[in-house]
Amino acid sequence: MQAELTIVIPAKNEVAMLPKLLNSLCLQDYAGMGETRVLVADAGSTDGTVEVALGYCDRLQVEVIAGGLPSVGRNAGARLAKSKYVLFLDADVELPEPTLLRRALWRMRRRELHLVTTNIACREGGFLDDALYAGNNLMQYAGSFVKPFATGMFMLFDREVFWELGGFNERALFAEDYLLSKGVATSRFRIVRGKVLTTNRRFQKLGHLRMVLMFLQTALHSWDDEYFLRDRGYWGEA
């Protein structure tokens, strides 16, 4: 039977975080999980990430493929997918609710959606971390009425629509997830109830103020795709 879903996870040196994500996938109550390919697009890890990923082959259909920057790794995985849907997850997230994947796919089928995302919460951290992720969720909700906004932490796409939109822009040096999601029609976009858990390491490395400024600059330049093709120092530092 043809699998309904393929999961793509770009990763580089995620030996500490990747097991949390893969464990949470093992606990999902989605009936098709056993047939779902889990493609880890590795960008040259040197810390044992590949070995950790392959260690789940007895529980998940894990494969390791060549990656690069997140947009490159995501596209590489999507090219190998033959399923109707592709779910993009960041390697440092986990799905704390075992029903999330099943409910997201149910919503995709029922409404014939093109893109589904969910909320983000911080696994650990302080008040500022929680406040910034809450702000992200609020802006995501507000944007759903005008211009869809989803992050690469959880993007469930109709595969054909994903490629009609051109996939992730591999020239984009940050906010490649926003560039793609804003091309989805608002009527075909939903935010499913629930959340993924992530870390506060982006804030620790770049600083809260800088992250806020980058978010605001993203919103202000939402109609200027060229803005995202210029190096803002994001990946070099984050």
pLDDT digits (tens, 9 = 90+) for 133-168: 888 888 888 878 888 989 899 999 999 999 999 999
User: Confidence band (pLDDT; 50, 70, 90) for 125?
Assistant: confident
Judge whether 151 lies within some domain: yes
Residue from 74, 82, 94, 37 nearest 179 by CA:
74
Range of the domain at 162: 5-200
Is 104 part of a structural domain of the chain? yes
Is residue 53 in a domain? yes
Alpha-carbon gap, residue 27 to 18, rounded angstroms: 15
Q: Kindly state whether residue 205 falls inside one of the protein's structural domains.
A: no
CATH number at residue 71: 3.90.550.10
Closest CA to 8 of 81, 57, 100: 81
In a domain, 26, yes or no: yes
Q: Does residue 230 lie within any of the structural domains?
A: no
Q: How many domains are contained in the chain?
A: 1
The DSSP string of 156-191 is EEEHHHHHHTTSS-TT-SS-HHHHHHTTS-GGGEEE
Tokens 């990747």 locate to 18
User: For the segment 38-74, what is each residue's pLDDT rounded down to a tens digit?
Assistant: 999 999 999 999 999 999 999 999 999 999 999 999 9
Q: What is the pTM of this model?
A: 0.88
Cα separation, 171 vs 69, in Å, equals: 10
Asked whether residue 214 is assigned to any structural domain, the reply reads: no
Q: How far, in Å, CA of 148 to CA of 188, rounded?
A: 9
Asked whether residue 238 is domain-assigned, the answer is no
Token output for 221: 């330049």
